[in-house]
Amino acid sequence: MKLTGFDGRRAFVTGAAGGIGLAAVRLLHEAGAMVTATDLPAALETLPTDATDLARWEPLDVSDPEAVTKAIARAEAGGPLTLGLHAAGALFLSSMLETPAEDWRRIFDINTHGTFFVTQALGRVMAPRGTGAIVAVASNSAGIPRLGMGGYPASKAAAAMAVRCLGLELGQHGVRCNLVNPGSTLTPMQTGMWDDAESGAAGVIRGSLDSFKSGIPLGKLATPEDIARAAIFLLSDEAGHITMADLYVDGGATQRA
């Protein structure tokens, strides 16, 4: 079955220059969507050359609400946005006892406040038209405590609830809001925590009793495309009666229904 609801429609993507965001931009482009893709200026400088023609690229710091509103207004100038994918996020590694206040504020500025600013702004332009679909990338850590990750799980949990509350409000306007919760995925965010690729991947798949972290029953890490495909499904017409859903895409790591 081919997913539908993309050809000729306009999409807005954050965190688009790499990982899950870039994989989603490629899929949206292939499906016929016209994409406005955003990321931090430094990330856009490392954009693969084969990605430049997939979308209209713009710099954006999602923690700046005014910049978010202006970016969506510029995207809307070309036609109404009906699809939104928020994939921007950040990870700081630290124990809860040692996390500096500025790091705690920054992780919430990006992961929680940024999610709210982007999904709120998308909802505001979609609601009056009575149609649209928004997906935010959260994390399976939003539902299970983790050691050594500072405020990351907390910021993702708060972001997830914000999106679900927004979905409850936007449902009466015909706009759907859903979440994709990745587990360990082969992105720079994940591999940056490893000493080397081989032992790092094996350790994640195996899990660790010492750190109270379960392994991955499916026996492999996700690829960015695995997560992006789940997000694209939730944006598609085939998911037309799905809203406020938490879709865990983690190979069974959280053992969650």
Q: Which of 206, 117, 204, 111 is nearest to 150 (CA)?
A: 111
155: domain CATH number is: 3.40.50.720
Q: Which is catalytic among the residues 6, 108, 117, 152?
A: 152
Contact 253, 183 (CB under 8 A): yes
In a domain, 202, yes or no: no
pLDDT above 80 (res 61) = yes
Structural domain of 33? 10-183+222-247
What span, in angstroms and rounded, lies between the C-alpha atoms of 78 and 82? 12
In a domain, 56, yes or no: yes
Whether residue 248 lies in the annotated active site: no
By DSSP bridging, strand 56-59 and strand 81-86 are: unpaired
Mean pLDDT of the 67-92 span? 97
Structurally, the chain folds into a number of domains equal to 1
In a domain, 256, yes or no: no
Task: Give the pLDDT band of residue 246 (cuts 50, 70, 90).
Answer: very high
pLDDT number for residue 193 = 56
Mean pLDDT of the 196-200 span? 59
Q: What is the pLDDT of residues 209-221, one digit of tens each?
A: 777 778 888 888 8
Q: How far apart are the first and last CA of the chain?
A: 25
Burial of 252 (0-12, 13-18, 19+ CB in 10 A): middle
In a domain, 192, yes or no: no
